Every structure is written in structure tokens, then in C-alpha cells.
Chain A
Amino acid sequence: MLNLPSPRAEVLDRRQQIARDLRALLGRDDLLTTSANELKGYETDGLACYRTVPMLVVLAEDTAQVAAVLRYCHDNEVPVMARGAGTSLAGGALPQQDTVVLGLSKMNEILEVNAENQTARVQAGVTNRNISTAVDDLGLFYAPDPSSQIACTIGGNVAMNSGGAHCLKYGVTTNHILGVTFVTMEGEVVEIGGEAFDLPGYDLLGLIVGAEGQLGVVTEVTVRLMPKPEAARPLLAGFASALEAGACVAAIMATGRTPVAIEFMDRPAILACEHFTGAGYPTDAQALLIIEVEGSEAEIETELAFVEAMAREHGATSISVAEDIVSAENIWKGRKSAFGAIGQISPDYLCMDGTIPVTKLPDVLEQIYAIGDRYGFEIANIFHAGDGNMHPLIMYDSHQPGVLDRVEECGAEILRVCVDAGGCITGEHGVGIEKRDHMPLMFSPEDLEQMKALKRGFDPKWLLNGGKVFPLTETGIPAGQIDPTQGLH
């Protein structure tokens, strides 16, 4: 189990006063949650093995309220954390006992769509999917598509620089954000960027996107929209071994003819998804690739023929092409329900997110299976293979005493393999608390200190979403907080 920072007793002692102050500040009762029952709804996120009931929850309705709450927390030294839909798989939305959760789910309006500029201005609590739905009839869509896109919010996507299956072609969140309304820990509201490409001055958007909500709170976002392709069609290819499928991915990518998505599932994942959704996956295959191509009908035909030839060359045992929209949606439904499907066959699982160079896929897969065998865990592999972003799911039963420690050790070994292969510890989920202690696999203390210096610049008291991203010191407090020169004053 990871060490969580100890709550500040002196903050917990002030709980009643803080609740009164926030109520007065907001001028209403209904935005503040204090009942134990309701607070429990905010105790965890997509990393459900860690749970901590927060001190209070505020559900903000506008930027001014967010600014007022942050200013209050800053002036009164109260830890605070913004939360969207709470779908983080890395514990990015895990509160601490002394935390005020600043929920943004009520800020769910699409403020403006500009079809000519291909941009939309939305509030942070709008779900990822709702952006695409709102602009669908204009022939546009918002490209980054995390598997949780029905629930996850654009604010959370910005915080974690989220990816998704179709990011292989279109890029991740940071490539699609043009502007934000950013509220600093001191409660200043700053407009950064706008509707035009690129920023004058420093690339503050580049810094804020992916900073895991530690530098400030984003309340509105201007996203870039993309023209919808004329059509898209996935192909399913089954293989007799995961290694052959991995080699096929590497070979397709090496040609430079990038499909819009290449998704990989191994046998445990295929069986679970097929059982769960009846997507029509080949249950006799050891590995499955979903390869999607898009464009005009002629382009689709050409690319599908190419992909099919590559798959056959690498020993595909079955190939089927979606013939219509219904079968295409069915194929994707299976993939996007994968985590839920694994949840049906295993009481618990831990989802890893390491990324590796694509040419190393077959080799790394073999090592992952060996690690799973050594620890005695079954591992299902479901991942965005085209860009090397792996999601090994380590299945376990949390009722076994001490099992989580072993699961986390197993996960750490997998991440080490990814880093040794030239990759990284997280491709799209973020560090959160889950991979906090693995950051030294990639970065020296000095590298991390540079990131912490930025954090201190924006939030000198480490009040905003603390206890994450950086390894905790032995005292259980973020190391940056006890820096004698720049820490608490």
C-alpha cells in the first residue's frame, strides 16, 4: 500500500468553522456537502483500492465561486482538490481527510461553438463525449477519446493530458487545447490562449495541461475540433500468439501508413469482453487487433487491403471487417467496455499505463507474462498498440490479506521493464498517487526538483492536490513542502 500524507490535525479541528465560512462565502447552503453519507461519494475515483473521505465538498457553479473557494483555502491554509467526474485510474482525484473537494461537475455547459474556426468553448465539467455530440451535426468532433469518455470531463482531461484509442492519428489532449480560463491558488482568474493557434509568450497551456491539477484550477476550455472523416471502418484480426500480433503492429507502424487506431487484446481480455458485450470477437484467438482506418470509401478499401495483407503476413488466423456502422460500433463497444468486462471476471484489478517503443512490443509482452507468472497473477493486456501505450491489467482478489502489496510490486516490475525498453511509466493516465513513487525510475532528484520548483511558484503552501505526482518523503509530506528556503512561511 502507498503511504498517504497524514491529514493536518489543525485543519480537521477547524472543520466546522471552514464549513461556516464557505457557506457564507458562497451565499448559499446547497453548494456545500457536509453529511458523512454524501461525502463518502467522493472518497475514491477510478483507482478504487484507495479510499479517503474528504473533509468537505463544494460543487461550484461558476468561475467566480471557484476563485472565491481557492482564495479562501489559500488564505486559510486549507488543502483543496478540483474534481471532475472522478474517473482517474491513477488516483488523481483521491482526496485526503483534510481536503475540500472542489467539484466542477455542475459546470457542464457548452458555451460556444464556432464552426468556421473549428473551436468550441466549454465549461470544465462538460463530458468529453458531449463535446463531440454537440458538434456532430456540423461534421466536427473532439478527437482525444479516453475509454471513459461518456463520463470523464474535459477539465479532468486537461489536468491529466488524457489520451485514447484514436490519439494514434490525432494526438492527445495537449495538441487540442487552444485556451483556458485558469484560476490560481490565490484566486486570480487568468485567461490563457484563445481561439488562435499557439500562444504569445511562454507556452503556459503546455505547462498546465498534464500538471494534474496542481498548478491551478481550469474552469473553461477552448478546444480545437476536427472535421469528421467521411467514414471509418475497423478490422478485427485474430492471432495464434500475442507475440505475432505485437510483431504485426510494429510492422504496420514501420511502414508509416498510420491507421487511425490499433488496439490490442490478449486472450484473457478477448474472453472477458466477448462474454460481457458479445462483440463477436474470435474466442479461439490468443490475441486480437482492432485496426481502424478512415477516409473516403476508396481510401478505406485501399487501407483495409493493406492492413489485411500485413495481418496475414504475420500469421493472422482470422480476419473480419466491419461491414456497416452497427458492426463497427459493436467492435468498439467491446473494446471500450474492456475494463468493465475484466471487472466481471476478477473481483479487482490494477491497470498499468506504461508506454514503450512499438518495436519492443513482442519482447515486452513476453516479459510481462513472465512477471505475472512469477507473482502468480493473471494479467490481461488491453492497449493502444499503435503508439506503444500498454494497459496490462493485473487481476487479483482484495480479500486476500496483503495482496495489494504484491500487486503493486508486480506493477512496479512491469513499469521498470517499460522504462528499460526506452519507454515511460505513464502514457495517458497520469501519475496521481499510483505512480508517484515510481517517478525516480525516470527522473533524477534534480529533474524532479525542477518540477517541484514550478509547483512551489504556483502554490507555495502545497495546498492544491498535494501528495501526488512526486514521491513522498519518509515523513509522509510532499518533499517540496519542507524545503527550508521556499516552503511554508
Chain B
Amino acid sequence: MAGSRATAESSEAAADSPEVLPETAAESFSTPEALAGFVRETTEPLAFSGRGSKAGIGFPVEGRAVTTSGLQGITYFEPQEFVLGALAGTRLSVLEATLAEHDLILPFSPPRFGGDPSLGGVIASNLGGAERESLGAPRDNVLGAQYINGRGELLKAGGRVVKNVSGYDLPRALCGSWGTLAILTEITIKVVPKARAVAQDAAGLDAVWASPFVWRVSLPRDRAAALLADWNGPSAQQWSGSLIWLGADAVGANDIHKRAAALGGHALLVQSPDKHRREHGCFQPLSTGVQALQRQVKAAFDPGFRFNPGRMYKDL
């Protein structure tokens, strides 16, 4: 099964099979409270992961390994309200199986990297799937979250209703932070009727994933052609052309980052040899102004800079 495209069939099969956690020596907890207690009692850097499907993205993190994969289960489900809450380690296949009983689906189908990712990991990485244009990215479908900050406090933000502007929109701010700001322990999301499903096929993706380097590039739609014009390797497009996947045998990390930025977009290296990843990382370099704002946000959530240090950027 190549890279990102776990099918509905394989997801359902996974839901029926007994839970097998990734082989790891990571600390695991069955309740958010226990995990919060662990954070409070430790002082060293912590390397968080969910089910590890995206372990190949970002700088390797040096720290005590902690997994959220022990936080399992659907905590709230109101099919008539189209709202579902689950602990962060719950597998997407489990959510999908429950939703299918009510002719509902998740409003996002992120790349799965050959695994069965946890809800927490999907939200923390915020990679939108084929339906990004119509149903939004994961961040657009998050209603509320329970999370643990760097002080080990178990907190909540947002709620269970679609329209909610009560205070700062912290659940959204945590989307795409890759565990560097807080650990998501429980997430409430919007779900949608099956009738709104979007076809997941993107011609050429298999060839892209067969390459050692895979880039995921988000561009304004009218610049996609410019990026692809001189690209000789495999490529695929989604989102009416504005999401571009590039496969390469060898490429300097900065090239595609630079090209994406010059075209008004951004790129993430989602597959690369470990040696390359260790040296160059995967995330789009940012302006000094944005970097400064990010450090402020980091300091507000994780003042000790202990959570996934350096996974996205060396200074976070």
C-alpha cells in the first residue's frame, strides 16, 4: 500500500482487528489526568507522538518518549448534532467505523503514511486531504479540545457547538503545532453526512510516493503551473491544482521551500531519508517576524520549551 492512500476498506478492516500499539519504549497513559501528572513530575524534554505514522516528518526530537496512543475511546457522540469527541490516541479507523453506522464520515481524510493515525496526530499536524476545498482542513472542523500545557495543567478550550467565539480560539491555534505547544488529550470535531464525501483519487500519487523524497506544496492556484513547468519527476495535484505532490530521487531541501515561497505558497517535506531530515528538517522556513510571533506563542503554552523541542523548527 503506497503512502497516503489507505482506503475505506482497509480502515474498516483495521477497526475490527485487535489493537496493536506501535512497538516502542515510550511512556503511555490511559487517562489525560495521568499524563498531566507525568508532565508535572518530570523536568526533561519530552518527545511526544501518537501512533507514529508521521515519525518521518520533522527533525528527530531528543527527549523522553511519550505516546498518547494509550488515550483511547470515543467520549461524546451526537449523530443528530454531527459532533464527535474522542481521546487523542483513538485511531481514525475506529472513528470511521462508528461514524459509518450512522452514515457519517470524518470531514477530513489526511495522508495516512501507510498507518492508522490517531485523531490527536491528525489534528496536531493539520494536513488536509482531497476535501480541503469543500470541507476544510482538520483545523476547520475542530470545535474544542482538552490539552496539557507545558506546566502539566490539564485545560480545555472551545466547546461542542459549531459556532463559538467564547475567548481566544486556542483549539485552532494548536492545530498544526506538531505537539510543540501542548499535548492534545481529547478533541471534539464536526462530522458530516456520507453524502458529502469527496473522491480521494489523485492521478500519479503512487509514483510520487515511490520516490525517496516527497514534497507536499500548497500554492495559490494560478502559480501551480509555474512550479510544475520545469519539474521532471513524478507529480500529482489535488485541490483544483493548488496542492501539489512532488516525488524526487534527490533534492536539496531548500530548493522546493524556496520555490514555494517565491510562488506565494509553502512546502512540507513529508518523506525523506533520515540523514537528510536530520540535517535539513522538513518545514517551510519562515520570516523573522513570523518566527518571533511563533516563539511568543511557544513561550505562552510551553514556557520551559520541553515539548517536542526542535521538531518543527530548531528554536521552538
Q: Mark B150-173, 1 if CB is under 8 A from A, else 0.
A: 000101110111111111111011
Q: Is A150 in the interface zone, CB < 8 Å from B?
A: no
Given contacts A116-B221, A199-B266, A357-B160, contact A190 B165 (CB under 8 A): no
Q: Output the nearest chain B residue to A205 by Cβ-Cβ distance.
A: B172
Q: Which residues of A are found within 8 Å of B139, using beta-carbon distances?
A: 198, 203, 206
Q: Which residues of B are found within 8 Å of A309, using beta-carbon distances?
A: none
User: Per a CB cutoff under 8 Å, which of B149, B153, B156, B220 touches A443?
Assistant: B156
Q: Mark A451-463, 1 if CB is under 8 A from B, else 0.
A: 1011111100000
Q: Is A44 in the interface zone, CB < 8 Å from B?
A: no
| A84→B220 CA distance, assembly (Å) | 29
Q: Mark A165-203, 1 if CB is under 8 A from B, else 0.
A: 001000110110000001010001111101111111111
| A250→B160 CA distance, assembly (Å) | 16
Contact B155 A447 (CB under 8 A): yes
Name which of B4-12, B19-27, B60-68, B292-300 contacts chain A. Answer: B292-300
Name which of B43-51, B200-208, B282-290 contacts chain A. Answer: B282-290
Contact B136 A202 (CB under 8 A): no
Q: Which residues of B are found within 8 Å of A446, using beta-carbon distances?
A: 153, 155
Contact A450 B170 (CB under 8 A): yes
Q: Output the nearest chain B residue to A359 by Cβ-Cβ distance.
A: B80
Contact A450 B160 (CB under 8 A): no
Between-chain CB contacts (< 8 Å), 5 pairs? A171-B140, A204-B173, A207-B170, A451-B157, A451-B170
Q: Is A91 in the interface zone, CB < 8 Å from B?
A: no
Given contacts A203-B176, A207-B169, contact A450 B266 (CB under 8 A): no
| A163→B78 CA distance, assembly (Å) | 23
User: Per a CB cutoff under 8 Å, which of A174, A184, A355 touches B161?
Assistant: A355
- Best-buried of A190, A388, A444, A458 by chain B (most CB within 10 Å): A190
User: Per a CB cutoff under 8 Å, which of B133, B218, B293 touches A196?
Assistant: B218
Q: Which residues of B are found within 8 Å of A182, using beta-carbon distances?
A: 293
Contact A447 B156 (CB under 8 A): yes
Contact A202 B266 (CB under 8 A): no
| A257→B82 CA distance, assembly (Å) | 12
Q: How far is the CB of B182 from chain A (nearest CB, A)?
A: 9
Q: Is A428 in the interface zone, CB < 8 Å from B?
A: yes
Q: Is A128 in the interface zone, CB < 8 Å from B?
A: no
Q: How far is the CB of A260 from chain B (nearest CB, A)?
A: 14
Q: Which of B244-273 contact A (CB under 8 A)?
A: 264-268
Q: Is A358 in the interface zone, CB < 8 Å from B?
A: yes
Q: How far is the CB of A437 from chain B (nearest CB, A)?
A: 13
What 5 pairs across the A-B complex have the smallest Cβ distances? A206-B172, A256-B193, A200-B284, A190-B289, A427-B163
Contact B173 A457 (CB under 8 A): no
Contact A171 B136 (CB under 8 A): yes
- Give the total number of A-B pairs whose CB atoms are below 8 A apart: 230
Contact A442 B166 (CB under 8 A): yes
| A182→B297 CA distance, assembly (Å) | 15
Q: How far is the CB of A269 from chain B (nearest CB, A)?
A: 20
- On A, residues with C-beta under 8 Å from B are 114, 116-119, 160-161, 163, 167, 171-172, 174-175, 182, 184, 188-192, 194-204, 206-207, 209-211, 250, 253-254, 256-257, 355-359, 384, 387-389, 422-431, 435, 439, 442-444, 446-448, 450-451, 453-458, 469
Q: Is B175 in the interface zone, CB < 8 Å from A?
A: yes
Contact A189 B161 (CB under 8 A): no
| A203→B266 CA distance, assembly (Å) | 13
Contact A211 B169 (CB under 8 A): yes
Contact B168 A424 (CB under 8 A): no
- On B, residues with C-beta under 8 Å from A are 78, 80-83, 103-104, 126, 128, 132-133, 136-137, 139-140, 149, 153, 155-157, 159-170, 172-173, 175-177, 181, 192-193, 195-196, 218-222, 239, 242-243, 264-268, 283-284, 286-287, 289-290, 292-294, 296-297, 299-301, 312-313
Contact A191 B287 (CB under 8 A): yes
User: Per a CB cutoff under 8 Å, which of A199, A207, A423 touches B159?
Assistant: A423
| A455→B284 CA distance, assembly (Å) | 26
| A183→B221 CA distance, assembly (Å) | 27
| A360→B239 CA distance, assembly (Å) | 37
Q: Which residues of B are found within 8 Å of A190, using beta-carbon distances?
A: 287, 289-290, 292-293
Contact B169 A206 (CB under 8 A): yes
Q: Which residues of B are found within 8 Å of A457, using beta-carbon distances?
A: 296-297, 299-300
Q: Which residues of A are found within 8 Å of B161, using beta-carbon distances?
A: 355-357, 387-388, 422-424, 427
User: Per a CB cutoff under 8 Å, which of B149, B153, B165, B170 touches A161?
Assistant: B165
Contact B313 A389 (CB under 8 A): no
| A359→B176 CA distance, assembly (Å) | 32
Contact A198 B126 (CB under 8 A): yes
Contact B163 A163 (CB under 8 A): yes
User: Per a CB cutoff under 8 Å, which of A175, A253, A469 touches B80?
Assistant: A253
| A355→B160 CA distance, assembly (Å) | 10
Contact B136 A254 (CB under 8 A): no
Contact B181 A202 (CB under 8 A): yes
Q: How far is the CB of B47 from chain A (nearest CB, A)?
A: 19
| A254→B218 CA distance, assembly (Å) | 35
Given contacts A202-B177, A204-B290, A204-B294, contact A454 B300 (CB under 8 A): yes
Q: Which residues of A are found within 8 Å of B301, using beta-carbon distances?
A: 450, 453-454
Q: Which residues of A are found within 8 Å of B103, using beta-carbon distances?
A: 256
Contact A209 B169 (CB under 8 A): yes
Contact B169 A197 (CB under 8 A): no
Q: Output the nearest chain B residue to A441 by Cβ-Cβ distance.
A: B166
User: Per a CB cutoff under 8 Å, which of A117, A250, A256, A456 touches B220?
Assistant: A117
Contact B290 A192 (CB under 8 A): yes
Contact A116 B222 (CB under 8 A): yes
Q: How far is the CB of B268 from chain A (nearest CB, A)?
A: 7
Q: Output the nearest chain B residue to A175 by Cβ-Cβ distance.
A: B140
Contact A211 B168 (CB under 8 A): yes
Contact B300 A198 (CB under 8 A): no
Q: Which residues of A are found within 8 Å of B195, using beta-carbon distances?
A: 256
Q: How far is the CB of A210 from chain B (nearest CB, A)?
A: 4
- Best-buried of A114, A116, A429 by chain B (most CB within 10 Å): A116
Contact A425 B128 (CB under 8 A): no
Contact A197 B172 (CB under 8 A): no
| A175→B192 CA distance, assembly (Å) | 16
- Best-buried of B163, B173, B267, B297 by chain A (most CB within 10 Å): B163
Contact B290 A207 (CB under 8 A): no
Contact A199 B176 (CB under 8 A): yes
Contact B168 A451 (CB under 8 A): yes
| A182→B294 CA distance, assembly (Å) | 13
Q: How far is the CB of B151 from chain A (nearest CB, A)?
A: 9
Q: Output the nearest chain B residue to A188 by Cβ-Cβ distance.
A: B289
User: Per a CB cutoff under 8 Å, which of A171, A195, A209, A429 touches B264?
Assistant: A195
Q: How far is the CB of A186 from chain B (nearest CB, A)?
A: 9
Q: Output the nearest chain B residue to A415 by Cβ-Cβ distance.
A: B166
Q: Output the nearest chain A residue to B257 by Cβ-Cβ distance.
A: A200
Contact B136 A175 (CB under 8 A): yes
